Chain A
Amino acid sequence: MTAGTAGTAVTAEAPGTDAADAAAQAAREAVFDAAVAADERIEPRDWMPEAYRASLVRQIAQHAHSEIIGMQPEANWITRAPSLRRKAILMAKVQDEAGHGLYLYSAAETLGVSRDELLDKLHSGRQKYSSIFNYPTLTWADVGAIGWLVDGAAITNQVPLCRCSYGPYARAMVRVCKEESFHQRQGYEALLALSRGTEAQHAMAQDAVDRWWWPSLMMFGPPDDVSTHSEQAMAWKIKRHSNDELRQRFVDIAAPQAEALGLTLPDPDLKWNEERGHYDFGPIDWDEFWDVLKGNGPCNDQRITKRRQAHEDGAWVREAAAAYARKHTGQHGEAQA
């Protein structure tokens, strides 16, 4: 975007008077609006409305937190994975999630916040993470169901973000989406192996899909008529599609995949609607959604306690790294904490 240079010129024009300030402000906003309208990318040095900045910080931070908390339900099965191949795939996936957390915190930092600040907000409950990770992984098949459904829903949400108006976020999403698609295929393939395996394995896969289906649909957020941030986010081209649109897109993709897997989805109302050219599906239990969001899901306490614990247990390590870096500045540049 070109707003940066234009914005600077305007600011320099007439400092001091209220009228001139207001005019400068209006000019900056006009440049920003024009850039968004022209599908140009907003970059860190460009002027942007404070509300746009705050909205992005909130969304990117939540996204980063989701990657970090999202490691837990899957890491729960690393030590118990049933074959060495599956163990390697799962370890690689959890490692990728930590990497995604890193890219996303970096993207958030371009907006003038620090990773420490954001982690502090996560630990104190002032910032949220995706409600999906408050559900427990009770069997090995849950790892497959998370890959297929949860990553599938995440990709549906995130692919449009690759065209988001804020450059650093859009670029992070390009990289994240590539890896997520890979994970999703692996999850699908793991479920397929179970579905085609022994009777017990098939039952395990079905049970997992039964438990993860509705929470996955909730990942798209509240229905459009009650979604508080949606309208503004779409005007700013942070979001490109409404929650309900994306949810429908996901159902349309997942329903035939379930059939190919030889598994059923736990929705008696799910059926193809010729007229709409979409699958119809049953009502979502929004009470459960809001309840989980408020902290009353099955694993909310467990997840945040474990995250806080890891952070507290690691404090002495981070302090050591910082002390070492101070002592050896110039000798070894590698301050890690």
Chain B
Amino acid sequence: MTTTHTTDPGDTTGTTPAAPAADPAVTAAALALGDDALVLAQRLGEWAGSAPVLEEEVALANIALDLLGQARVLLSLAGDEDELAFLREERAFRNVQLVEQPNGDFAHTIARQLYFSTYQRLLYAALADGDGPLAGLAGKAVKEVAYHQDHAEHWTLRLGDGTDESHRRMQTACDALWRYTGELFQPLDGLGLDTTTLEAAWLDSVTAVLTRAGLTVPTGPRTGAWRAGAGRQGLHTEHFGRMLAEMQHLHRSHPGATW
């Protein structure tokens, strides 16, 4: 799909007023969800110019832009978006470890998208249905993440049920990232929503897609060596520090500058 940008994609004023939230629990939740979106947008941005087909250049950039837009609204609820993105160190980021995992091959990127967008779709649908502080944002974002999930699902089917090689790669990717999916459902205060209740629906949805794609649902543990919830407490994988170094370098080199 092609999107024509007739408005400045740097403009977030059309979405949610960016006044910092007063409730510290809400702020913390917005920060966690904002970090998820920011970090995954950064990873997807790395694909620009390297996608397997031109249509995927457009699709991956489109998804990255949606996520970046979500991140900007959420971070603005927690404070100044640029200060939060560029001046926090690794231990202060609250994203789940799944989103910081390297792009790997296209199958790894798609597996990560499938796991994460299925979670985001369930989460935002539930938030949009409620009357919590993030309901407005979630109502807009749920349309975007429905597209993301659809995109990931179609590619999971194509790769899982394509050639022997694509099947093998897709299975490897699904297996490798499985251990990072338990963290998605750790309780997160301030959302006005019990995230653990999303887990069964997530498992059903992912199982259905993998099964249709002729893939085996991974059986390994859904947490790594860290206790589940590590990313939400600022404990990240080694990949993350390097990613931040690249993302923050220019901003940090010019303290106080505006861009």
- Which single residue of chain A is at the shortest CB-CB distance from B5? A92
B258–A91 touching, CB < 8 Å: no
What chain A residues lie within 8 Å of B48 (beta carbons)?
Answer: 71, 75, 78, 91, 94
A317–B159 touching, CB < 8 Å: yes
Q: Is the interface of B mostly helix, strand, loop or mixed?
A: helix
Looking at B49, B157, B246, which has the most chain A CB atoms within 10 Å of its CB? B49
Asked whether A336 and B61 contact (CB < 8 A) given A91-B45, A95-B3, A198-B257, the answer is no
Q: State which of A49-57, A146-154, A229-237, A319-327 sits at the interface with chain B.
A: A319-327
Chain A contributes a number of interface residues (CB within 8 A of B) equal to 60
What chain A residues lie within 8 Å of B57 (beta carbons)?
Answer: 71, 94-95, 98
Partner of A78, one of B45, B55, B169: B45
B131 an interface residue at 8 Å Cβ cutoff? no
Q: How far is the CA of A79 from the CA of B162 in the complex (A)?
A: 32
A310–B49 touching, CB < 8 Å: yes
B52, chain A: closest CB distance, angstroms: 3
What chain B residues lie within 8 Å of A71 (beta carbons)?
Answer: 48-49, 57
- Which single residue of chain A is at the shortest CB-CB distance from B48? A75
A17, chain B: closest CB distance, angstroms: 47
Q: State which of A82-90, A270-278, A284-292 sits at the interface with chain B.
A: A82-90
A87–B68 touching, CB < 8 Å: yes
A334 an interface residue at 8 Å Cβ cutoff? yes
A82–B159 touching, CB < 8 Å: no
B246–A79 touching, CB < 8 Å: yes
Contact size range, B: 35 or more
Contact with A along B49-83 (1 / 0, CB 8 A): 11111111110011011001101100100000110
A72 an interface residue at 8 Å Cβ cutoff? yes
A84–B247 touching, CB < 8 Å: no
B258–A316 touching, CB < 8 Å: no
B251–A82 touching, CB < 8 Å: yes
A95–B58 touching, CB < 8 Å: yes
A99 an interface residue at 8 Å Cβ cutoff? yes
Please provide the 7 A-B residue pairs with the shortest distance between their CB atoms, ordered closest to farther: A314-B52, A320-B162, A320-B166, A95-B61, A85-B10, A75-B48, A98-B57
Residues of A within 8 A of B (CB): 68, 71-72, 75, 78-89, 91-92, 94-96, 98-99, 101-102, 105, 140, 175, 179, 182, 186, 190, 193-194, 197-198, 200-201, 306-307, 309-310, 313-324, 327-328, 332, 334, 336-337
Other than the given A98-B57, A98-B61, A332-B157, 4 more pairs (CB < 8 A) read A78-B45, A79-B42, A194-B259, A321-B158
23 residue pairs of the A-B complex, CB under 8 angstroms, read: A79-B42, A79-B247, A80-B246, A80-B250, A82-B259, A89-B10, A91-B9, A91-B65, A95-B65, A96-B5, A98-B61, A99-B58, A102-B2, A102-B55, A175-B4, A182-B6, A201-B254, A314-B106, A317-B53, A317-B106, A320-B165, A320-B166, A334-B154
